[in-house]
């Protein structure tokens, strides 16, 4: 392809990129708007940006609390999902026991059951356990993740048995085998699944919406939605939206290659 | 010899088998408690009358006969189908177009792809909040339409326009993901095919319709199935942007389940609607299996 023609491609790509990015740009532009009225299209380039809306959003402590809840929810879930899924994935890939195939495929088949059907029973169960409006009640229903377990098993199947046998001959016990032989081998897939699980939980909405009733226990997504209903300044809402968005963007930019690999895997299944 | 050694260590005493059970145990406990039990319970609840007070009463198929006689349910089914019909062609065309645009080596391509991917990683609530503002009466979309002399509209308050507006949001949010799946499919097409076609003097249109599109069918099929399942289960965007309105014009099946369950606390009735969603999902999966097995798509 000639160089001139290649450069031409920047035009459609640039237009599409601008259109895709516009909502993000507008969100940030409104959040730093010093006055209440929004002038089209001048607001897109604020002449005197102000951080008042962020002070409003964070000053009450409410948004900060939501961000903290979201962080705990996402981080604890990532750790537990990875731990449980890698242990189970290892057993399903490398151990022989009766019922292995049946249990595995039963779990995978459960992926077809929509979350909306299990939502009400989950709500009743967690409510009976006294877990509504608590962090543990928010976390526990989400940690047995079938996709994560499935991907772990696929990946661990590729690890040569000789590696495990060699370690066994060296006298490694079952747990040592998992912890110091298998886990280090799975780092790339742990990173991929971890990235996805973090984003799923950070962005999760429906379960936190029904299980967290007190505003101080909200996660960011639920809190941000509640700011829409209240008589909140648009700039403050947008500041909260920016705060919701920033961690996902940073995680994505930092772990982009793992994320891309994960999407490609979903296309090749 | 094998028989003896097998008898010497029956499966339940074999160390490897025991370790296997121990390793799956934590996962199995949580999966059983928070996936399988709720799925069974949800199905059973659809045959019962259950109120917040905790009284549970078996009512047979009463919830389903009530459902089939309820105009709200038929409307919810229609809204869900309509959303799917609107979203899928739009999402697929946008994703395919963008994949074609991005399927080349160009300085700065990774930057463009990162931008196109940004909506995928954002939360539905955040994108909903921004798009509500974009569609507002005094929002930028109407400003743009007005300044080029086109009629403006109150997008999210208009019964006829609310679903197309939601479909646009969905296409914006998902195309980066679908584009990546299609790009993976394009990478798998052998370059010799295109070289041979160029030698034969085929133009881009010929190459697209006779090489790219046919060989991309498996990837397109994956995107189609993902989009169908996503469309059936759309909830967050509707909750954040329209609350099912105006006049139930965006009241989807999932929204009905939520509304009946947590608005009216009619758990049995909501579960019956949930079972319908389950049946639709299962049928989609079966059809998908069928088509893949027939080998029309590998």
Half-sphere exposure of A71 (CA within 13 A, CB side): 9
* Percent of residues, chain B, with pLDDT higher than 70: 92
What stretch of H or E contains B163? helix B162-187
Mutation to test the A interface, candidates B102, B125, B189, most A Cβ within 10 Å? B125
By the CB < 8 Å criterion, does A146 face chain B? yes
Provide the pLDDT for residue A50.
81
Q: Which residue of B has its CA nearest to A94?
A: B20
pLDDT score at A266:
63
- Is the CB of residue A218 less than 8 Å away from at least one CB of chain B? no
Contact B274 A85 (CB under 8 A): no
Query: How many beta carbons lie within 10 A of that of residue A89, not counting itself?
Result: 28
Which candidate, B174, B160, B179, places its Cα nearest to that of B87? Answer: B174
Given an 8 Å threshold on Cβ–Cβ distance, is B233 in contact with A30? Answer: no
Chain B residue nearest residue A117, CA to CA? B274
Are the C-beta atoms of residues B47 and B53 closer than 8 Å to each other?
A: no
Supply the pLDDT for residue B13: 58
What residues in A contact B118, CB-CB < 8 Å?
20-21, 24, 249, 252
Q: What is residue B124's predicted lDDT score, i.e. its pLDDT?
A: 93
Q: What percent of chain B has pLDDT over 90?
A: 52
Using a CB-CB distance cutoff of 8 angstroms, which residues of chain A are in contact with residue B42?
A: 117-118, 120-121
Residues 6+ apart with CB under 8 A from A240: A57, A63, A220, A223, A224, A227
C-beta atoms of B114 and A256 within 8 A:
yes
Find the closest chain B residue to A226 by CA distance.
B240
Q: What is the ipTM of this complex?
A: 0.89
Nearest residue to A235 via CA among B129, B18, B227, B150: B129
Residue-level pLDDT at B5 = 46
Measured between alpha carbons, how far is residue B270 from residues A124, A181, B77, B163, B187 in Å? 13, 48, 14, 23, 45
Q: Report whether A236 contacts A230 (CB < 8 A).
A: no
Q: Which residues of chain A have pLDDT under 50?
A: 1, 268-269
Residue B276 Cα distances to B269, B283, B288, angstroms: 11, 11, 18
Considering only the beta carbons, identify the residue of A20, A97, A210 that sits closest to B21.
A97
Are A89 and A152 spatial neighbours (Cβ–Cβ below 8 Å)? yes
Cβ distance A100 to B20 less than 8 Å, yes or no, reads yes
**pLDDT computed for residue A1 by the predictor:** 46
Contacting residues of B for A88, CB less than 8 Å apart: 23-24, 26-28
The answer, for A88 touching chain B at a CB cutoff of 8 Å, is: yes
- Residue B4: the pLDDT is 44
Contact predicate B241/B131, CB 8 Å? yes
Q: Is the dihedral of CA B111, B117, B118, B121 positive or negative?
A: negative
DSSP state of A112: G
Report the SS3 class of residue A260.
helix
- What are the CB-based long-range contacts (under 8 Å, 24+) for A34-39? A36/A233, A36/A234, A36/A235, A38/A234, A38/B138
A120 to B185: CB separation less than 8 angstroms, yes or no = no
Question: Closest partner residue to B180 among A178, A245, A263, by Cβ?
Answer: A263
Q: Which residues of B touch A103 (CB under 8 A)?
A: 24, 28
Look at the block and give the residue holding tokens 């799917």.
B84
- Report how far residue B80's alpha carbon sits from residue A73's, in angstroms, rounded to the nearest whole number: 31
Long-range contacts of B48-54 (CB under 8 A, 24+ apart): B48/B268, B49/B268, B50/B267, B50/B268, B51/B265, B51/B266, B51/B267, B52/B265
Indicate the residue of B31, B117, B132 with minimum beta-carbon distance to A144.
Answer: B31
- Give me the residue from B45, B115, B121 closest to A120, CB to CB: B45
> Is the minimum CB–CB distance between A250 and chain B shorter than 8 Å?
no
Tokens representing residue A166 in the block: 């060699």
DSSP A121-184: HHHHHHHHTT-TTSHHHHHGGGSS-HHHHHHHHHHHHTS-HHHHHHHHHTT--HHHIIIIIIHH
The pTM of this model reads 0.89
User: Inter-chain contact A205–B123, Cβ cutoff 8 Å?
Assistant: yes
- In Å, how far is A250's CA from the nearest CA of chain B? 10
Token pair for A14: 């640039």
d(CA B211, CA A68): 51
Q: How far apart are CA B121 and CA A248, in angstroms?
A: 6
What is residue A138's predicted lDDT score, i.e. its pLDDT?
A: 95
Which DSSP state fits A43?
A: G
Let me know: does A227 contact A240? Beta carbons within 8 Å.
Answer: yes
Q: What is the pLDDT of residue A86?
A: 94
- Give the closest-approach CA distance of A48 to chain B in angstroms: 21
Question: Strand, helix or coil at A97?
Answer: coil
**Contact (CB<8Å) A113/B278:** yes
Smallest CA–CA distance, residue B277 to chain A, in Å, is 7
Burial of B13 (0-12, 13-18, 19+ CB in 10 A): exposed
The residues, any chain, with a CB within 8 Å of residue A93's CB and separated by 6 or more, are A152, A153, A154, A156, A157, A159
The residue of B123, B138, B245 whose CB has the most chain A CBs within 10 angstroms, and thus the best one to mutate to test that interface, is B123
Q: Which residues of chain B have pLDDT under 50?
A: 1-6, 297-298
């Amino acid at each position: 392809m000639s160089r001139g023609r290649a450069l031409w491609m920047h035009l459609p790509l640039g237009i599409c990129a601008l259109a895709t990015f516009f909502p993000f740009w507008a969100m940030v532009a409104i959040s730093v708007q010093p006055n209440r009225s929004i002038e089209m299209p001048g607001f897109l380039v604020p002449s005197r940006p102000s951080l008042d809306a962020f002070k409003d959003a964070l000053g009450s402590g409410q948004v900060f609390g939501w961000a903290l809840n979201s962080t705990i929810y996402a981080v604890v879930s990532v750790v537990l999902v990875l731990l449980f899924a890698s242990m189970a994935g290892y057993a399903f890939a490398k151990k022989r026991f009766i019922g292995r195939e049946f249990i595995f495929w039963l779990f995978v088949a459960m992926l077809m059951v929509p979350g909306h059907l299990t939502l009400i029973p989950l709500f009743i169960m967690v409510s009976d356990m006294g877990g509504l409006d608590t962090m543990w009640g928010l976390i526990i229903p989400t940690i047995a993740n079938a996709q994560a377990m499935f991907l772990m098993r696929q990946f661990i199947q590729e690890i040569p048995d000789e590696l495990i046998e060699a370690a066994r001959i060296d006298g490694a016990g079952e747990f040592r085998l998992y912890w110091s032989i298998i886990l280090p081998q799975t780092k790339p897939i742990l990173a991929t699944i971890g990235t996805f699980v973090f984003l799923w939980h950070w962005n999760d909405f429906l379960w936190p919406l029904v299980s967290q009733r007190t505003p101080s226990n909200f996660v960011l997504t639920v809190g941000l939605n509640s700011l829409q209903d209240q008589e909140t300044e648009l700039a403050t809402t947008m500041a909260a939206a920016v705060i919701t968005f920033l961690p996902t963007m940073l995680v994505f930019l930092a772990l982009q290659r793992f994320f891309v690999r994960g999407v490609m895997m979903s296309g090749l299944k | 010899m094998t028989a003896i050694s097998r008898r010497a260590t029956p499966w339940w005493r074999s160390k490897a088998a025991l370790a296997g059970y121990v390793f799956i145990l934590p996962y199995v406990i949580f999966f059983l408690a928070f996936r399988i039990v709720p799925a069974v319970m949800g199905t059973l609840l659809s045959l019962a009358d259950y109120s917040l007070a905790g009284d549970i009463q078996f009512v047979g198929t009463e919830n389903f006969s009530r459902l089939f006689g309820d105009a709200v349910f038929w409307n919810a089914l229609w809204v869900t189908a309509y959303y799917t019909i609107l979203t899928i062609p739009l999402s697929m065309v946008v994703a395919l177009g963008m994949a074609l645009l991005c399927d080349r080596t160009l300085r700065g391509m990774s930057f463009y792809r990162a931008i196109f991917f940004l909506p995928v990683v954002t939360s539905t609530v955040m994108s909903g909040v921004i798009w509500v503002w974009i569609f507002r009466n005094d929002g930028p979309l109407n400003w743009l339409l007005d300044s080029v002399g086109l009629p403006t509209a109150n997008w999210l308050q208009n019964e006829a326009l609310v679903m197309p507006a939601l479909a646009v949001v969905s296409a914006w949010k998902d195309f980066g993901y679908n584009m990546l799946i299609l790009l993976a499919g394009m990478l798998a097409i052998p370059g010799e095919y295109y070289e041979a076609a160029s030698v034969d003097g085929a133009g881009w249109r010929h190459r697209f319709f006779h090489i790219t599109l046919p060989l991309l069918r498996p990837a397109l099929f994956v995107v189609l199935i993902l989009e169908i399942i996503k469309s059936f289960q759309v909830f967050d965007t509707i909750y954040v942007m329209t609350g099912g309105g105006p006049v139930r014009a965006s009241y989807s099946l999932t929204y009905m389940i939520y509304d009946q369950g947590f608005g009216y606390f009619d758990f049995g009735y909501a579960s019956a609607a949930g079972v319908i969603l389950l049946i639709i999902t299962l049928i989609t999966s079966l059809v998908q299996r069928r088509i893949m097995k027939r080998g029309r798509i590998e």
